[in-house]
């Protein structure tokens, strides 16, 4: 059990939250107030440890460009723009929850919308982090045909984060789908090459390549376990680390 005086393993991290993680599967609501509140509380704890935290939020709980193109016949670029706007909605919801928890936060967007959020400016983002503010990056990379995992890989490198904490529904990376195979084995640690060779699908190929090329570690863990983000930051054995 960790104590309040515990020493964090990292000084600056980037947390990737998928849009799906914000969804309430019982009611179908895209953004669950309870999940947001828990997330904000977790981030507050991390700030108390003195860790600088930025967050990339996904938008899959609201809209995905590819799904839109496949199911609704939406033009892919238009759909991707809609997906990026969905991440802005999630980011603003997270901002609100953080502020209600007393966490100072700035939202930076890759698509300029100056009434709502700051534009993404790398140096300004770093300055916010140094001042102890959480920074939420929204609108992905600002480009279609990308994912928010790619945005996470990009921003983590740009702000010199030490690690990407990728919060998912599953508590790590398994040799096969743990939902389908009872004998699936979880990796505590895996190298980039091995993860690629075994096609473990940690992130999409472009995002993964950006991490591998720049030696950006990725910790895949479950957000559903209370306190998991804090435990990850304290370097406790949790999830799967790819490096």
Nearer to ligand UDP, 206 or 236 (CB): 206
For residues 100 and 40, give the distance between their C-alpha atoms in angstroms, rounded to a whole number. Answer: 8
Nearest to 37 by CA among 53, 50, 24: 24
CB of 175 to ligand UDP, least distance (A): 23
Q: What angle do CA 81, 87, 91 make, to 5 degrees?
A: 145
Write out the residues near ligand UDP by the rule CB under 6 A.
Answer: 18-20, 58-60, 64-66, 79-80, 83-84, 86-87, 140-141, 143-144, 146-151
- State which residue, 49 or 207, has the beta carbon closest to ligand UDP: 207
Q: Whose Cβ is closer to ligand UDP: residue 204's or residue 236's?
A: 204
Phi, psi torsion values for 215, nearest 5 degrees: 50, 45
Pair 242, 212: CB distance under 8 Å: no
Q: Is the dihedral of CA 82, 86, 92, 95 positive or negative?
A: negative
Complex with ligand UDP: residue 147 or 228, whichever CB lies closer: 147
Q: Would you say 145 or 225 has its CB closer to ligand UDP?
A: 145
Provide, rounded to whole angstroms, the least separation between the CB of residue 11 and ligand UDP. 25
d(CA 221, CA 225): 9
Q: Which residue is nearest to ligand UDP, using beta carbons? A: 58
Nearest approach in angstroms of CB 142 to ligand UDP is 6
The answer to whether residues 234 and 48 touch, using CB atoms and an 8 Å cutoff, is: no
Nearer to ligand UDP, 104 or 177 (CB): 177
Distance, CA of 111 to CA of 237 (rounded, Å)? 37
Residues 6 or more apart whose CB falls under 8 angstroms from that of 199 comprise none
């Amino acid at each position: 059990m960790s104590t309040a005086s515990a020493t964090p393993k990292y000084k600056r991290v980037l947390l990737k939250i998928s849009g799906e993680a914000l969804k309430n599967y019982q009611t179908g609501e895209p953004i669950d107030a309870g999940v947001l509140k828990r997330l904000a509380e977790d981030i507050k704890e991390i700030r108390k440890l003195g860790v600088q935290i930025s967050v990339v939020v996904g938008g899959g709980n609201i809209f995905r460009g590819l799904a839109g193109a496949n199911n609704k016949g939406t033009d892919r670029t238009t759909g991707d723009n809609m997906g990026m706007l969905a991440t802005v909605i999630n980011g603003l919801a997270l901002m609100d929850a953080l502020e209600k928890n007393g966490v100072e936060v700035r939202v930076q967007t890759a698509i300029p919308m100056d009434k709502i959020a700051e534009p993404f400016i790398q140096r300004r983002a770093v300055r916010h982090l140094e001042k102890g503010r959480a920074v939420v990056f929204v609108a992905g990379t600002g480009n279609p045909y990308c994912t928010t995992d790619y945005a996470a890989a990009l921003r983590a490198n740009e702000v010199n984060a030490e690690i990407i904490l990728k919060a998912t529904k599953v508590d790590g990376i398994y040799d096969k789908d743990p939902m389908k195979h009872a004998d699936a084995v979880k990796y505590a640690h895996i190298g980039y090459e091995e993860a690629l060779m075994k096609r473990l699908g940690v992130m999409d190929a472009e995002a993964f390549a950006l991490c591998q090329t720049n030696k950006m570690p990725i910790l895949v863990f479950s957000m559903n376990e209370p306190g998991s983000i804090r435990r990850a930051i304290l370097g406790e054995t949790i999830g799967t680390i790819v490096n």
